[in-house]
Each structure stands twice: as C-alpha cells, then as structure tokens.
Structure 1
Amino acid sequence: MPRMHFLATSAALAVATILCALAALHVLSARAASTQAPAPKAAPEVLARGEYLARAGDCIACHSTPTGKTFGGGLAMGTPFGTLFTPNISSSNEFGIGRWSADEFYKMLHTGRSRNGMLLYPAMPFTAYTKVTRADSDAIFAFLKSTPAVAQPNRPHDLRFPFNKRSMLLGWRTLFFREGEYRADPAMSVEWNRGAYLVEGLGHCSMCHTAINALGGSSASKAFEGGLIPMQDWYAPSLTSNKEAGLGEWSIQDISDLLQIGVSERGAVFGPMAQVVHDSLQYLSDDDIRSMAVYLKTLPSRSETSVSAPTQEVAEEKNRLFPLGKKIYEAQCAVCHRSDGQGKSPHFPPLANNQAIEMSSAVNPIRMVLNGGYAPGTKKNPTPYGMPPFAQTLSDEEIAAVVTYIRTAWGNHGTPVSAKDANALRPALLY
C-alpha cells in the first residue's frame, strides 16, 4: 500500500508539474503576444484608393445620417415592407467592422451574407457589389478600418411579418441574385469595360433605373428601363429609351458633365440623382466618368414607343389647362427658361424638347414645380442655380396647368396632368 501511495503521489506531482509548465508557457505566450507590434497599417496609396472606391460605391450616403457621424449608420430607409436601418461600418470593434477580416468583408460584398452567415436584405446592393474584385474589396475594407470608430449601436429593422423572417430571402435570392465578380468583355475596349464595371458594380445604377416588382426585385431583362423609386416618389428614367433619358442621342461630353458636374447642355439632375452626384460621382476621375459615359451610351435601345395621337378626352383636358398654364409660365418661369422654352444653359435647362419633361411619368416635373430645388453643388459647379418652390403659392389646379403647359408646348409630346396628380405629390419630401 505505501508503494501504491508513493506511485500515486509521484504521478500527481508529475501531472501538476506538467500543468504548471503549460500554464507558464501560456502566460509567456500571452505576454509575448501582448507586446507584439500591431498589424501593419495599409499603405497610404491603398487607403487613398479605398477611399476613392468607397466614394464610387456611395457608401457614405446610406451609412451616415445627415446629423450623425460618418459611417456610423442608423439611416432609416423606408420600404414597402417596413423600415430598414443601415448598420455602422466604422472601425468600431463593438458596433462596426473593427473585428472583421478582409475575407469576411469580401464575402459580405460578394455573397450578400454577413460574417456570421446571416442573409442581408437587398437594400444593401450586394446584387451589384458581387461584381467588385477582391483587390478593390480589400482596398475599401482597409479604408473603412482606418476611419474613426463611431460608438453608435445598430438599430434593429422594423419590418412587417413575414418580411422580418430572413429565411424568406432564400427564395428572393434564387429569383434575383447571381453571384460573381465582373468579367470583362474581350470584344469591347478597356474603357468600355471599366465603365461597365463601375456602372454595374460599385455604382449600382440599375437599382434605381430598373423597375422594382412586388417582391422587391427586378428583372435583368428590364435593366435600366426606368421606374418609380419606391417610397421616394421620384421617377428614375429609362436609360435605354430615347423617349426618356436614353443616352444614344447624347454626346459623351454631355453625359460626363451630367454625371460629374450635375448640369450639362442637355439638362440638370435633381432629387436622388443630385445626391448621388454630390456624394459620389463628382469625386471620380475624368477618365472614370468618361468610361461610365461610354458604357451608358451603348446601352441597347429598348422600350421605344411611337407617339400616338391624343384621345379626344386628353386633347380636351390639354386645351382646358393650356391657357392658364401659359399665363403662369410667362409670369413665373419665362424669366429663367425663356418664353420659347429654350432656357439659358447650363444654369437654366431648356424645357423645349426636354426628355425629362415629356416622359410618360409626370412625377418629376410635378415634384420640381412643387418643391423646387438645386442641382448639386460640385467641385466644378460649386454655386449652382436653383429653382424656387411653388407649393405654397400655386393651387393643385395651377400646378397641373403649368406642368401641362410645359409638357405640351413648343412641340413637346407629353400628356396633361391633373390637379389630383399634383395633390398626391404634395406630401412628398424633397429627397
């Protein structure tokens, strides 16, 4: 028995010694790790490129509030299914992406899944960002990790049942999401491919310029054919139809000016597009803007419809409103846009033969008369001219009359609008 006791005691001491040694080794390793230098920061040129690409992707517009800190999230985004709140993407370890890896960030952009595998709602444009290359993703990630940490907790979404069940997104993704980086078309030029990469990927232009269906998705076959932006009451015109904003008849310079400056000889941007130019496009290089213009100009022409003779009812409504509209126009609008509707480019765009005025949807011209507005202030146009609002001075009938006048005068082929149309848009916010 004493021998057995001795052996047991010896074994216990041996185990204890080994455990102590392992514990000491762990402490030494932890101390060594704590004294190691932090991971090297990205090179300045990588950070600069990441900032540029984040601008191209317009990250700041969604992940910042007007009164909050940059990339702190919290922006409320109204949808037909409820309200989404954008997440914090600052370098905060607690609330942002401070603990994320470059692999996890790329996976999120590429697959539409968060670092824990959670499916993202498609208000995050991962259907476009999936085209972003790994190198560009890494640069954006490095830039975001270099931004100041924002101690802003993330707000939970407020979506109605069953849209608050993320499992439903599996079906949505099957219908509307195709994963994969952009692949250059060898038949096209380097410039064209660069433009396609920016427009289809980081720029996610099709998200607004493609109609959204009842499921919150869009058809690839109808890409860039235009549609009403849900909850915003602005119409994103078709970029494929020369009856709307199709660019086949535009020069590369006019397209470039509109994208980068916000005004061109052909018109000016207002509403959500003005925000895109202000927050994003004005910061892109002349070469990249030109590449986008080259690509956009080659979008295939679709949705063309011939101008048919107005029905008797439409003609009678136009004739009823036209005299009042002309009177209001001459008193309020002609000083800037001229009596012949030719405007004073580039500050006061022409209204005659203006595709934005003649579109089948009259939402945008009604909004402009009601709310007024400015083209965006940009580096190349820091003090833009604006248009005053008339919501407080003109009745619904008068709004309808002057919009009908500009849509049908000077050879324009628009249709009349009603006082009901004007009244429906009065509650709409400017952006």
Structure 2
Amino acid sequence: MKTALKLLVLLLVPALAGLLWLAWPDLREAPVEQSRAAPAGAAQIERGAYLARAGNCVACHTQAGQAPYAGGRPIGTPFGEVFSTNLTPDPETGLGSWTPGEFWRAMHHGRSRDGRLLYPAFPYTSYTRVSRQDSDAIFAYLQSLAPVQAPRREPALRFPYNTQFALRAWRALYFRPGEYRQDTQRTPEWNRGAYLVEGLGHCNACHTARNALGGIELDRNYGGGPIPSLGWEAPPLAPAGLMSDAQAAEMVELLQAGTSRHGVATGPMAEVVLHSLQHLQTTDLAAMVSYIRSLPPAAGAPAPRRPRVSEARRQELMRQGETVYREHCADCHGDRGQGRDYVYPALAGNRMLTGASAGNAIRSVLMGGYGPSTATHPQPHGMPSFAQRLTPEEIAAVLTYARGSWGNQATAVSPVEVERR
C-alpha cells in the first residue's frame, strides 16, 4: 500500500507541476474590466492614431485592395498561415462589441474577447509592455473608424500548432506578461526610445533570430537573422556595438525618409517606413536610435550553409562579374561602387551587400524594387528586376565582383545560391 502511494505521489507531483507551468501566464491575468469607456475625445483619438502608426497595425491588418484595418491578410509562418483580424468597430466581425478592458487583455496577455489564446504572429510578446493609457488610446482610435463587415478567417496551421494546448506550451516557454519600467539611470529620451522599440515597434520580432518553435532567442537579441516565410534577412541593429553621431543621424533620416545619403530601406523594411516610421515625430525616431545605439553587440543567427566556391572559381566569377557590372550596374552605382547620395545606394561598404549571407543581395538583384514613398522622397528611384535579363551565373558573378571590390571583402556567391532563391 505504501509503495503504491509513493508511486502515486511520484506521478502526481510532476503532473501538477507541469499543469502549473502551463497555466502560469494565465494565472497572472487580472479580471477583465467589462465597463464601457466614456466617449473618446478628439485628442485621445488623435493620440491613438499616432500610436497605431507606431505599431504599424495597418500593415498586417489590411488585405490588399480591401478597407484599412479590416483584416484578412495572410501572414506566413513556418507552421502554416494565420490571417489578421478585423479591427474596425463592426459589432459582429470586428471590435464593435469589445470593451477597452478586453482590448487591453489582448494587447497585454495575448487573449481574445472569447478567451481564446492568440497566435504570437500578433506580437503581444512586445505589446505587453504598452501602457494601459496607450492601449486605451489605440482602442479609441480604432472605434472611431468606419465599421467594415469582414468575418474572421480560420488559420491554416499544421497539427499540433493549431491547438490551444500547443499555444499554452509555447506561452509557458516564451511569454511573460510585463510592462515597461523606466530606467532611472537613463535619460528620458533613452527611455522613450526603449519603450517604442521594445513595445509598439516590436523591432526584435524581425531583428532577432528565432528557434525551431518560433521563440525569439534572447541571447541573440537584435543580432539579426532570417525573417520567417519572407525570404529576407533582418540586419543586426547594432552590428559592432558602436554607432557614431553621424551614423545615428543618418539612421534617423533613413527611418523617416526611407532614403539617406548612403542607403535606402528595402524589402520588408520599406513597408515599415511607408506605413509607420515616416509618420512618427523626429524626436521619437531620435529616441529610438538613442536606445538602439546602446544595444550591445549580439550574435546573429548561425551563418547559413552555402555552396563552397574555390579560389580559381572565385577569380573566374570576379572577371565575369566586372563585365556584367560595367554593362548593367555602373551607370547608377558608379564605377567604384560609390553610388549617388540620396539616389542610388553606395555598394562600397554596403552592409546588406557584404553580409555573411548573400540572400538579401540576391533577392534585390532578382526582384528589383523601390524604396518607400515618403513626404521627403515621394518618388524614390528604383532598381529594375534582373531575373529575366541575367542568368544565375551572371547574377552570381556580378555579386561576387561587388562583394569583393572597392574594399569589400565578402565571400563569393555561387550560381546554386541564386537558383535556390
């Protein structure tokens, strides 16, 4: 009898501990306030509109060709697709029946009005740091929009990732509700920047590598890495741990205008500038850069495995690439890769071009593209797509040449890498 009791205890204690571990994030939730808010004033709505832009809410919650904030946009993940929800005040399919407390719970705890756990494609792991006052302002702004009927689309995720149990386990591993606390040893500007970068800006959602379960690897915080399902790679935000005043000023300019003296926002970052950052006050952008400047160097994602290129093959690609460059690239980027200020980015010393992975450079040559249209640069210069004009061999050659010229010392690019893109 005693043996059986001991066995039962040995089985029950780990089981209870496991249940407590799974439920811990939920146990920290405060009761939801069901009271309706008083009618919002114009100042609160205007503030909420600004904060919604800071969070880039419209980008994910707007399907191409549909009403803003009506949801339905597919968001790819390594586990399948989820679809953004309707944030307009439609009472049946949107937020029209929600209370400010229920919206706050979604932002702070990642739980919907009906009690469902939300998928972390909605970045509540960052939004949990947003203050209740700011959450209420965003809700007031969303309630001021014209209601649009747009039913929720069910996610298309593989089993078991489509279960609430899997979400509980994920949250127990990677999510702790929290709030931003001021660092009294830092300046108000730094604290404002930290609040925006770590909260509404959710910058580490892209600029930090993720593990096989989609959890952010905090030991690699802001070290850059692949952006799941987009095919682009986010650069490290503080690659060397140091940023000069001139570099900081240029970063503010790039975030606001989409184009700076030496660079242009491309890929997913162009959309962030278009919908979000260009609309922020310069003081807020400077505060964000102030915080980013303080970030310590961090290891990025492990370097991707790339086809080996022999020295003889590299020299061959360099010779071929120089010919391709002079024919197709030099008119814009210059004979020495110097570019043209505020028009065509320099290739000499270009971090996107010379990274350990050539993925972003390959995509840029294949797909071309434009920087974001902003108030400062409403008609940005673009780069044509070369997917139909150059062969994989020629693209590999010109990238090898650019990555190994004008002081650049990056590795060669294999035609196999181009074909894989």
- TM-score norm. by structure 2 comes to 0.87
CA 1:188 to 1:328, structure 2 compared with 1: closer, same or farther past 3 Å?
same
How far residue 109 of structure 1 moved from its aligned partner, in angstroms, is: 0.3
Is the partner of 1:107 in helix, strand or coil?
helix
Is it true that 1:351 corresponds to 2:347 in the alignment? yes
* Cα deviation digits, residues 265-301 of structure 1 (max 9, x gap): 2311101000000000000001101111111111112
- Aligned AA (2:282): D
- 2:182 is matched with 184
1:159 pairs with 2:154: no
Pairing partner for 2:208 from 187, 202, 210: 210
Q: Aligned-pair distance for 1:401?
A: 0.5
- Secondary structure of the 2:372 match is coil
Contact persistence 1:239–1:247 (CA under 8 A): no
Deviates more, 1:215-224 or 1:133-142: 215-224
- Deviations 1:19-69, CA, capped at 9 Å, x for gaps: xxxxxxxxxxxxxxxxxxx97531111000000000000000011111111
Q: Per the alignment, in what secondary structure is the counterpart of residue 267 of structure 1?
A: coil
Contact 1:225–1:237, Cα closer than 8 Å, also in 2: yes
Counterpart contact for 2:223–2:297, Cα < 8 Å: no
Q: CA RMSD in A?
A: 1.8
Residue 4 (structure 2) aligns with: none
The amino acid that maps onto 1:295 is Y
For residues 182 and 279 of structure 1, the distance between their equivalents in structure 2, rounded to whole angstroms, comes to: 24
Instruction: In structure 1, list runs of 5 or more residues that go unmatched.
Output: 1-37, 305-310, 426-431
Correspondences of 1:34-49 after superposition (within 5 Å): 41-49=39-47
1:398 matched to which residue of 2?
394
Residue of structure 2 in register with 1:280 after alignment: 276
Residues 393-431 of structure 1: per-residue CA shift (max 9 Å, x gap): 000101111111111111101111111111111xxxxxx
Maintained 8 Å contact 2:108/2:124: yes
Moved >3 Å (runs of 4+): 311-314
Q: Does structure 2 conserve the Cα–Cα contact (< 8 Å) formed by 1:240 and 1:303?
A: no
Structure 1 segment 2-13 matched on structure 2, within 5 A: none
1:271-350 alignment runs, 5 A limit: 271-303=267-299, 313-350=309-346
Shift of residue 314, structure 1, vs aligned partner: 4.1
CA distance, structure 2, for counterparts of residue 413 and residue 127 of structure 1: 38
Q: Which amino acid aligns with 1:410?
A: W
Distance 2:381 2:308 in 1: 39
Larger Rg: 1
Mark the runs of 5 or more structure 2 residues left unpaired by the alignment.
1-35, 301-306
Q: Percent identity?
A: 47
Deviation by residue 1:208-227 (Cα, 9 ceiling, x = unmatched): 00111110111222111111
1:29 equivalent in structure 2? none
Per-residue deviation at 1:247? 6.2
2:146 is paired with a residue whose SS is coil
Change (3 A) 1:74 1:137: same
Which residue type is aligned with residue 236 of structure 1?
A
For residues 62 and 163 of structure 2, the distance between their equivalents in structure 1, rounded to whole angstroms, comes to 26
State whether residues 224 and 236 of structure 2, in contact with CA within 8 Å, keep that contact through their aligned partners in structure 1.
Answer: yes
Aligned pair 1:255/2:251, yes or no?
A: yes
Q: Distance in 1 between matches of 2:161 and 2:184?
A: 41
Q: Which residue of 2 aligns with 1:139?
A: 137
Deviation, structure 1 residue 240? 2.9
2:66 to 68, 73, 82: 68
Contact 2:221/2:298 (CA < 8 Å) preserved in 1?
Answer: no
Amino acid at match of 2:364: M
Structure 1 distance, partners of 2:332, 2:222, is 32
* Alignment-derived partner of residue 128 in structure 1: 126
Worse-matched range after superposition: 178-187 or 202-211: 178-187
- The whole-number CA distance in structure 2 between the counterparts of 1:192 and 1:39 is 32
In the aligned structure 2, how far is the partner of 1:398 from the partner of 1:125? 40
Instruction: Give the AA of the match of 1:223.
Output: N
Task: Tell me how far apart the structure 2 counterparts of residues 237 and 262 of structure 1 sit (CA, whole Å).
Answer: 16
Q: Does 1:369 align with 2:395?
A: no
